[in-house]
Structure 1
Amino acid sequence: MRVFVYFEDSCEPFDIPPDQTVGAMKQLVKENFLVQLSDDKQAYHYLELSYGGAALQDSWALCDVGITSGSVIRCLIKSEQRPVMYVFNAVTGETLPVMGSHALLHVSVDRLKTVVSMQSGLPVSAFRLSMLTDVQLYDCNQLQDYAIEEGMTLRLDTWDGWVEFLQGCLLGHRLTVQSHLSEEKIVMRFQLRVALYIAASLGHLDLAGWLLERGVLAEEPVGVHPYRQWCHQTAHRDAAKCPIHVAAESSQLLILKLFINKNLLTLACRDPGGRDPLKIAIQHGHRDCVLYLANKLCSVVSLPNMSLPMRIYLQMKHWVSLGQKRVVSNQCQYTSALYKDRVGHMLLVDGFNQPHMCSRSRKAETKPRRGIRAKALQHLPPISNLLSVSYLPSKRSSPNLPSLQSVSPGDYKEKQQRWKQHRDDGHSDKTKERDRIVCMGNFTLPQVARESIPKPVFVGSSQKSSNLVTASLESLSQHCGRTPRENAIYCLSIASKFTEKPWFKQLSIARTLIRKQVHSVP
């Protein structure tokens, strides 16, 4: 087939086979247009082919992505800056590239942690940076003190037992976050603040709403770990950032609306640099957030007898909240120090204690589960015998145990046959009662299929055909490393990159990719 390649105000035809790959097509373009790509330490240049609004990958075949005879492919030379360094995230298993100029190698460690925090979504008090040789980087030092060179890989570690918890926060899974909270109340409160910070950074509405219901405040700083409360004065500056600030930085408009509707005082909350959410959104150029916050600040609050501008109302609310906190602290002085460091709490001294930020996985508690499982496997006595047993014996009287009865082998075989027939039937009153107890009134079990109901007969359907389909799906999963559902999502995500194509055309591209993978299965 013949396709046309448009490059630098010129269009040239190419006669290629339909199954030509994009990588081979790039080589033809380089030879025809005499393209020379320069490469240096700070940036590298590469050739990109685009069609339908999507950048074509080298492994794709032209016919698989809907390129037919007469199509026009755009060719561009792009340059990409090389990362100054890399950071391996032990929580997600990904390697984050740290972009910037060569001057980044001469900044302090706390500045690097700020950059990594904005890129990973984790607060600075939830991770540490170290070299691959397990040398920890302290915030007060410079990167050049550790002889860090360009292209070096650092490691990001979190608190021991926090890996699953942070993974649930990054994915927005509320149940995962809830199941991996610490049993220590003081540590759990810190984890909840960390979770709200991550939810505000990544825009997880469900998780953020649940945390607000738990009493976590969007205008409350994340702070430092309770084991490091004694050194909070020398903590990282960004430890005083609040979830409302990171939501404005990340342009999470829905999260901003959720926080402001929960408490209007978040509009006046200031970060360590003295900026409110509006100034943060302006500096980062998030137009939608700026419009929403500006409209909120310029609005009028209607009260029963008067109307006040929003700024005056916020100032009055701030005074009232300060007075309420002072009254509470005077009445209950011990509550102010309830969640601070006390005698008996663990303290971490850098360089002396064993490191507690090595990303060790949380150990599963197997003892209670084994006990419950063993208890569930015990054989229960019949219901008739349960009624005659006194489980609450008094001090004077002994419990009335059921008397043992002798059973002949013939009666036992007859009872066993009746029990098997009763189990196969599945429609007795006791079975329905047991199903009702299992349902607990929240949902209903599916109806039991009866043999008396005639089932539809499909021509050509057999057990061999179903086994063949199952075997084909298993071989496809082993070949591509994904389940059929994950593979369909992957192909649809590739097809959705062709933004200039209609939706039906994108769907056909996804079907073609899936069909190509099925045919390539050995």
Structure 2
Amino acid sequence: MRVLICFEGSCESFDVPPDRTVGAMKQMVKKHFLVHLSSDKQVRQHLELSFGGAALQDTWALCDVGIRSGSAIRCLIKTEGRPVIHVFNAVTGEILPIMGSEALLHMSVARLKTVVSVQSGLPVSTFRLSTPAGVQLYDCNRLQDYSIQVGTILRLDTWDGWVEFLQACLVGHRLTVQSHLSERRTVMRFQLQVALYIAASSGHLDLAGWLLERGINADEPVGVHPYRQWCQQTAHRDSGKCPIHIAAESSQLLILKLFITKNPLTLACRDPEGRDPLKVAVQRGHRDCVRYLASKLYSVVSLPNMSLPLCIYLQIKRWVSLGQKRAASNRCQLTSVVFKGRVGDKLLVDGFNQPKMFSQSRKSGPKRSKRIKAKALQPLPTNSNLFSVSHLISKRTPSQLPSLQSVNPGEPKETQKKSQQDLKRRKDGLSVEISEEDSSSCGGKFILPPITRESIPRPVFVGGSPKSSHTLTASLQSFSHHTGRTPRENAIYCLTTASTFTEKPWLKQLKIARTLIRKHVHTMA
């Protein structure tokens, strides 16, 4: 077939077989256009072929991604900077690249933690950084003090027992977040504040709505762990950020609407640098958020005897709050900082006791997990004017689910009880699926339905042999063994890959995903 390659204002035709890979096409383009690519320690150049709005990978075949005869492929020379250092995230298992020049090695550890927090979506008070030798990096020092060189892989660790909790927050699974909350009320309150911060950064509406119902405020700083309440004055500056600020930084418009609908006073919330959400959105260049915040700030508030612009009303409320804080500080002149700790609480002193941040998994038996879950479901103090997203989501779900397994009156009570439990689990799975779809609407990722449980009866095919189920199971196990991914994970991977072709209609993207899945199966065979 004949395809057109557009490169630097010129367009040339190439006769290639349909099964030619993208990598082989790049070699043809290099020879035809005499392209010279430079590569050094800091900058690397490479060719990129794009079609349908997506960058083509070297291992793809042209026919697999919908390229036919007469298609036009764009060729560009991409220049990428090499990462100066890497950070291994023990929570997600990913390696975060820190881009820049060698001058980055002279910056402070506090600045590096800010960069890592933006990339990982975790608050700075939930993790620590350490060298490959296990030496902890402190905010007041610089990277050069630890003899860190270009290419060093640092390690990000979180509080012991927090790995599963943070993983659930990053994906927006509300039920899993509930089951991994601490038994101590002070620690649990801090965990809920962290969860709202991550939900605002990732755009998880269901999780954010549930946290607002529990009394967590979007204009309240995340702060530090209760173990470090004694050193708030020397804490990282970004620990004073609020969820409303991170939502403006991340351009999460739906989260911003949720926060402001719940409490309009969040519009006047200031970050450690003295910026309100509107100024944060302006500096980040998020037009939709700026338009929405500006329209809210210049709306009118109706009072009993007058009407005021909302910006003036917020300024008055800010003056009142400052006066209340000053009056409270005058009454408590003996202590400059309000300490929330109690006698007997645990404190951590850097350099003397163990930091309790080694990313160790939570070890708990069945009895403890039940007790933690019951403790987590206790509601915190809430306000009367709450805006619940989960309530809006529940309106779209059917009021009655079709029964997948009938229960006869003559069956034993154990069988009926088991059937009711299975039906309840399926309802929970449906609610989780709906919340995943709503929370991922901003990210553009494909979410498949929950994994089918073994308790749900599978359809019986007429004429099928008794060994057909065993053959299907063996085929799925063989597929997972050869590809390294389960069929579900492979489907998610192919659908996500096909969604990168933004210029193609959705049905075309689905066809590309089916072709990629079929190719993986044929390659394994």
TM-score, structure 2 normalization: 0.80
Alpha-carbon distance in structure 1 between the residues aligned to 2:67 and 2:422: 55
User: Pick from 394, 412, 422: which aligns with 1:431?
Assistant: 412
Deviations along 1:391-418, one digit per CA (max 9) or x if unpaired, are xxxxxxxxxxxxxxxxxxxxxxxxxxxx
CA distance in 2, matches of 1:444, 1:250: 34
Instruction: Give the secondary structure class of the aligned counterpart of 1:463.
Output: coil
- Counterpart position of 2:261: 261
Report what 1:483 is aligned to.
Answer: 486
CA contact (8 A) 1:109 1:137 kept: yes
Q: CA deviation at 1:295?
A: 0.9
- The answer to whether the Cα contact below 8 Å between 1:186 and 1:339 also exists between their aligned partners in 2 is no
Q: Which moved more, 1:467-476 or 1:92-101?
A: 467-476
Is the alpha carbon distance of 1:63 and 1:282 closer, same or farther for their aligned partners in structure 2, counting shifts above 3 Å?
A: same
Q: Pick closer, same or farther for the CA change 1:472–1:326 going to 2, 3 Å.
A: same
Deviation at 1:254, TM superposition (A): 1.0
Q: Deviations over 1:335-363 (max 9, x none)?
A: xx998122211111111102211111111
**Match of residue 314 from structure 1:** 314
Deviation at 1:298, TM superposition (A): 0.6
CA shift for structure 1 position 220? 0.9
Q: CA deviation at 1:206?
A: 1.0
What residue in structure 1 maps to residue 126 of structure 2? 126
1:167 has 2:167 as partner: yes
Query: Residues of 2 paired with 1:507 and 1:144: CA distance?
Result: 50
Please tell me whether residue 515 in structure 1 is matched to residue 496 in structure 2: no
Distance 1:272 1:491, change over 3 A: same
1:47 and 2:28 are equivalent in the alignment: no
* 1:504 equivalent in structure 2: 507
Distance in 2, matches of 1:437 and 1:519, equals: 41
Task: Extract unaligned runs of 5+ from structure 1.
Answer: 332-336, 372-425, 447-454
Instruction: Please state how far the C-alpha of 1:498 moved relative to its aligned partner.
Output: 1.9
Matches within 5 A, 1:100-119: 100-119=100-119
1:343 equivalent to 2:351? Answer no
Change (3 A) 1:301 1:368: closer
1:221 aligned residue: 221
Q: What secondary structure, in the 3-state scheme, does the structure 2 residue paired with 1:478 have?
A: helix
Kept in 2, the 8 Å contact 1:4–1:70? The answer is yes
Report if the CA contact (8 A) 1:439-1:445 is conserved: no
Please give the alpha-carbon distance, in whole angstroms, between the structure 1 residues aligned to 2:160 and 2:461: 58
1:444 and 1:253 map into 2 onto residues whose CA distance is 32
Structure 2 residues without counterparts, runs of 5 or longer:
332-336, 372-406, 428-458
Q: Mean Cα displacement is larger for which, 14-23 or 73-82?
A: 14-23
- What is the match of residue 390 of structure 1? none
Seen in structure 2, the aligned counterparts of structure 1 residues 33 and 340 have a Cα distance that, compared at 3 Å, is: same
1:134-191 deviation per Cα after TM superposition (whole angstroms, max 9, x unaligned): 0111111111111222221111111111111111111111111111111111111111
Q: Distance in 2 between matches of 1:163 and 1:441?
A: 29
* Contact residue 125 and residue 236 of structure 1 kept, 8 A: yes
Give CA deviations for 1:79-123 in whole Å, capped at 9, x if unaligned: 011112111111111000112233221111111111111111111
Query: 1: distance between equivalents of 2:173 and 2:142?
Result: 37
| 1:509–1:345 CA distance, 2 compared to 1 (3 A) | same
Alpha-carbon separation, structure 2, partners of 1:246 and 1:114: 12
Aligned partner letter, 1:205 = L
What amino acid maps onto 1:44 in structure 2? R
- Kindly indicate whether the alpha-carbon contact (under 8 Å) linking 1:65 and 1:509 is maintained by their aligned counterparts in 2: yes
- How much does 1:303 deviate? 2.8
| 1:294-305 equivalence runs, <5 A | 294-305=294-305
Match of 1:94 in 2: 94
**Is the contact made by 1:51 and 1:72 (CA closer than 8 Å) also made in structure 2?**
yes
Instruction: Work out the percentage of aligned pairs sharing the same amino acid.
Output: 72
Q: Partner residue of 2:29?
A: 29
Give the match for residue 9 of structure 2.
9
Separation of aligned partners in 1, 2:207 and 2:409: 44
Structure 1 partner of 2:465: 462
Q: State the SS of the aligned residue for 1:192.
A: helix
Question: What residue is the counterpart of 2:190 in the other structure?
Answer: 190
- Kept in 2, the 8 Å contact 1:435–1:445? The answer is no
Deviations 1:268-325 (A, max 9, x none): 1111111111111111111111111111111101234432211232234446667888
Confirm whether residue 135 of structure 1 aligns to residue 135 of structure 2.
yes
Distance 2:131 2:353 in 1: 19
Shift of 1:125: 0.9
Aligned length: 456
The 1:261–1:321 alpha-carbon spacing in structure 2 relative to 1, beyond 3 Å, is: farther
SS at match of 1:355: coil
Distance 1:461 1:46, change over 3 A: same
Q: What secondary structure does 1:362 align onto?
A: coil
Most deviating of 341-350 and 159-168 = 341-350
Instruction: Kindly provide the CA deviation profile for residues 177-215 of structure 1, in whole angstroms up to 9, marking residues without a partner as x.
Output: 111111111111111111111111111111111111111
**Are the counterparts in 2 of residues 42 and 82 from structure 1 also a CA contact under 8 Å?**
yes
Residues 84 and 184 from structure 1, CA distance in 2 versus in 1: closer, same or farther, beyond 3 angstroms? same
Rounded to whole Å, the distance in 2 between the matches of 1:289 and 1:429 is 60
Q: Aligned to 1:498, what secondary structure does the other structure show?
A: coil
Counterparts of 2:109 and 2:322 in 1: how far apart (Å)? 36
Tell me, in whole angstroms, the C-alpha distance in 2 between the residues paired with 1:139 and 1:319. Answer: 33
- Structure 2 residue matching 1:520: 3-state secondary structure: helix
Letter of the 2:410 counterpart: D
Q: Is the 8 A contact 1:129 1:156 kept in 2?
A: yes
- 8 Å CA contact retained: 2:201, 2:250: yes
User: Cα–Cα, structure 1 residues 370 and 457, in superposed 2: closer, same or farther, change >3 Å?
Assistant: closer
Superposed CA offset, 1:358-409 (max 9, x none) = 11111122466899xxxxxxxxxxxxxxxxxxxxxxxxxxxxxxxxxxxxxx
3-state SS in 1 of match to 2:154: strand
Distance in 2 separating the partners of 1:323 and 1:282? 29
Alpha-carbon contact 1:7-1:75 (below 8 Å) kept: yes
For the Cα contact (< 8 Å) 2:2–2:13, is it kept in 1? Answer: yes
Q: Secondary structure at the match of 1:157?
A: strand
User: Offset at 1:69?
Assistant: 2.5
C-alpha spacing 1:251/1:457, structure 2 compared with 1 (3 Å):
closer
Give TM-score, length-normalised by structure 1.
0.80
Matches within 5 A, 1:280-295: 280-295=280-295
Distance 2:329 2:255 in 1: 31
- Indicate the residue corresponding to 2:388 in structure 1: none
Alignment RMSD, CA only? Answer: 3.2
Moved more, 481-490 or 220-229: 481-490
Letter of the aligned partner of 2:74 in structure 1? R
Indicate conservation of the 8 Å contact 2:44/2:82, yes or no: yes
Larger radius of gyration: 1
CA displacement at 1:127 relative to structure 2 = 0.8
**Aligned mates of 1:456, 1:438 — CA distance in 2:** 19
